[in-house]
Amino acid sequence: MDISVFLNNMRDPAGVPFYPVIFQVLMVLTFALHIVMANLVVGSIFVALWEAAKKTDYSTRLAKALGRVITVSFSIAIVLGVAPLLFVQVIYDPFWYTANTMSAFYALLFLAVVTIGFYAGYAFYLGNRKNDASAFKTGWGWLALIAVLVTGALIHMLSMEQLMPAEWKNWVITPEGHYLTGGGQFHGVAPGRLLHILLPSFAVTGVFMMLYAVYFRKRPDYDPEYLDYVAKRGVNLAFVFSVVAAAAGFWWAGEIPGEFHFLQNPFFIAGAIGGIALTAYLGMAHMNPEKYAIRAAIAMFVVIFVMCAAREGLRMDYAGAAGYSIFDYKVNVDWPSTLLFLVSFVMGLYVLCFPAIAAFRAGRAPAGEVVTIEPSHGKRAVTCLIVWFAVVAGLGLIISLKNGTLF
């Protein structure tokens, strides 16, 4: 069967409930947010282990702080990773499900390794909360590092397999004509692309360390010299690895088939220009890292978002070469579910504002000091959650009764 016919026949016959371009934009945005947090996980583990090896007061204190960052960023990365994956399953379902079937063993292994990495990161943090420099334990940290690197390699492989449908037949059928049903195929790894995802971890962590210094500068119980140390280490890390990540980006571009003209992709060009500008800005930031921290963080996210858009454009090129376009998907607009999704999204952001504000203010207060927050916003947030639950549960009950699924 022609691969184009196969892919288009594999689409969900029910179509999609809203316009594919909306799912595509949300997919790029949520993936950019996810990859920032995933980069922070990888970079925090690396830097924590590096700083712990120095066994100085400042380096040990920084390693402990990053140990705590690992637990939080890992949790957020996992949650944010669900969203782009769901959008991929909606508009690129023939690609995603085929790759996961061919490499089912690795798809399941991915879940196990993520779990190991998370708990190892948490054990690394808990085991070093009270240790001094000489007793700092790194065993769990090394396990967490290995787990996240394996995780990155696995999801990279699954993503690359999606992009090469012309090779699927060769991967699942032996030269003798036997169909491989074990799900043990591991194909499609592109070193440049993988490095372009992993190397920015150090730059992202460096900018985070600059923000760390800004955030805690108002705490009287924080040693100013320690914060200077963190900020300086952060800006150096961000600058050096912005350059290295850019080089990996061009390596990745060289791996892409010339027929796609990726170097002429507007998003890739914009990302490359933005990356060069960001590197220059980080070079200037050496004079006063904290002064440049917030703007550097915003600029870095913009560059990452643009490169994620370039990545999506490339996926469309690969899909188009196989005769598949997300814009050919049958659209059956479902306004109720779409509005419920959008309202839930906006309401969720509003609800999260209260704990975010509380955490931000509490973190800037000296240890033992009680922070008071206007309770009205919290009450409104709780009310929103109650109303949301009532609406969703009510709709589910009404639809179930209407369809006769309860009796």
The domain locations on the chain are 3-333, 343-407
- Which whole number is the average pLDDT over 313-330? 93
- Which whole number is the average pLDDT over 127-151? 87
Which among 156, 191, 213, 204 is positioned nearest to 305, based on CA atoms?
Answer: 204
pLDDT at 73 over 70: yes
The four Cα atoms 357, 362, 365, 370 give a dihedral, to 10 degrees, of 120
Q: What share of the chain is helix, strand, coil (3-state, %, to 5)?
A: 80, 0, 20
What pLDDT, on a 0 to 100 scale, did the predictor assign at position 299?
96
Q: Categorize the per-residue pLDDT at 280 as very low, low, confident or very high, splitting at 50, 70 and 90.
A: very high
Cα gap 369→383, rounded to integer Å: 29
Cα gap 49→144, rounded to integer Å: 11
Helices (H), 217-265: 224-255
What pLDDT, on a 0 to 100 scale, did the predictor assign at position 401?
85
Amino acid at 310: A
Highest averaged pLDDT of the listed ranges 139-148, 171-180, 261-270: 139-148
Percent with pLDDT over 90 in the chain = 63
Beta bridge partners of 331: 16
Q: Which residue has the higher pLDDT, 188 or 6?
A: 6
Helix (H) or strand (E) holding 132: none
Range with lowest mean pLDDT among 1-5, 58-62, 298-302, 379-383: 1-5
pLDDT at 381 over 70: yes
Chain segment 27-55, per-residue pLDDT in tens: 999 999 999 999 999 999 999 999 999 98
Chain segment 159-179, per-residue pLDDT in tens: 999 999 988 888 888 777 788
The four Cα atoms 252, 253, 259, 265 give a dihedral, to 10 degrees, of 130
Answer for the pair 194, 36: CB distance below 8 angstroms, yes or no.
no
**All residues at 6 or more sequence positions from 51 whose CB lies less than 8 Å from its CB, including other chains:** 59, 60, 62, 63, 66
Answer for the pair 158, 107: CB distance below 8 angstroms, yes or no.
yes
